[in-house]
Amino acid sequence: MQKTLRIGMVGYGFMGAAHSQGWRTAPRAFSLPMAPELVAIAGRNPEQVLAAQHRFGFVDSTTRWQDLIDRDDIDLIDICAPGNVHAEIAIAALDAGKHVLCEKPLANGLDEAEAMAEAAARASERGTFSMVGFNYRRVPAVRLAQEMVQSGKIGNIRHVRAVYLQDWLNDEESPLTWRLDRSIAGSGALGDIGAHIIDLAQFVTGSRIEYLQGHLRTLVSERPKLGESKGLSGRASGDRGAVTVDDAALFTAQFSNGVIGSFEATRMAAGRKNAMTIEVNGSRGSLSFDLERMNELRFFDATTDPRTAGFSTILVTDPEHPYLEGWWPPGHMLGYENSFSNQARDLVFAISEQRMPSPSFDDGLQIQRVLHAIETSSGSNGTWSAVTFPPASKEL
Q: What tens digit of pLDDT does each residue of 172-197 get?
A: 999 999 999 999 999 999 999 999 99
Task: Residue 24: name the closest of 59, 74, 51 by CA.
Answer: 59
Q: Cis link prior to 330 (omega < 30° from 0)?
A: no
| pLDDT 10s digits, 292-334 | 999 999 999 999 999 999 999 999 999 999 999 999 999 999 9
At 382, the pLDDT band (50, 70, 90 cuts) reads confident
**355 phi-psi bin (left φ>0, alpha ψ -120 to 50, beta other):** beta
Percentage of the chain lying above the pLDDT 70 cut? 95
At 388, the pLDDT band (50, 70, 90 cuts) reads confident
Q: Give the domains, in start order, of the chain with CATH numbers.
A: 4-135 (3.40.50.720), 141-386 (3.30.360.10)
| CB-based contact 254:260 (threshold 8 Å) | yes
The chain-wide mean pLDDT, for the chain, equals 95
Which amino acid is located at 24 in the chain? R
| pLDDT 10s digits, 10-35 | 999 999 999 999 999 999 999 999 99
| CB-based contact 354:127 (threshold 8 Å) | yes
Which ranges of 172-228 would DSSP assign to H, the alpha helix?
Answer: 182-185, 189, 195-205
CA distance 317 to 323: 9
| CB-based contact 263:248 (threshold 8 Å) | no
| CB-based contact 97:120 (threshold 8 Å) | no
Residue 279 has pLDDT above 70, yes or no: yes
* CA angle, residues 309, 312, 314, in degrees to nearest 5: 155
CA distance 308 to 310: 7
| CB-based contact 117:365 (threshold 8 Å) | yes
Check the CA dihedral 312-314-320-323 and report its sign.
positive
pLDDT at 119: 98
Question: What is the number of other CB atoms lying within 10 angstroms of the CB of residue 211?
Answer: 16
Residue 100 has pLDDT above 80, yes or no: yes
CA distance 112 to 193: 20
| CB-based contact 278:197 (threshold 8 Å) | yes
| pLDDT 10s digits, 139-155 | 999 999 999 999 999 99
Task: Residue 94: name the closest of 82, 102, 84 by CA.
Answer: 102
| CB-based contact 259:157 (threshold 8 Å) | yes
Which amino acid is located at 53 in the chain? Q
Give the SS3 label for residue 92: helix
In b/e form, how buried is each residue of 293-326, taking b as 16+ CB within 10 angstroms?
Answer: ebbbbbbbeeeeeeeeeeeeebebbeeebbbbeb
| CB-based contact 125:226 (threshold 8 Å) | no
Provide CB contacts within 8 A for 353, sequence distance 6+: 33
Residue 349 phi, psi dihedral angles, 5° rounding: -65, -40
99-128 average pLDDT score: 97
Task: Residue 377: name the closest of 259, 278, 250, 228 by CA.
Answer: 250
Which helix (H) or strand (E) is 39 found in, with range? strand 35-42
Using only the alpha carbons of the chain, give its radius of gyration: 21
In b/e form, how buried is each residue of 71-82, taking b as 16+ CB within 10 angstroms?
Answer: beebbbbbbbbb
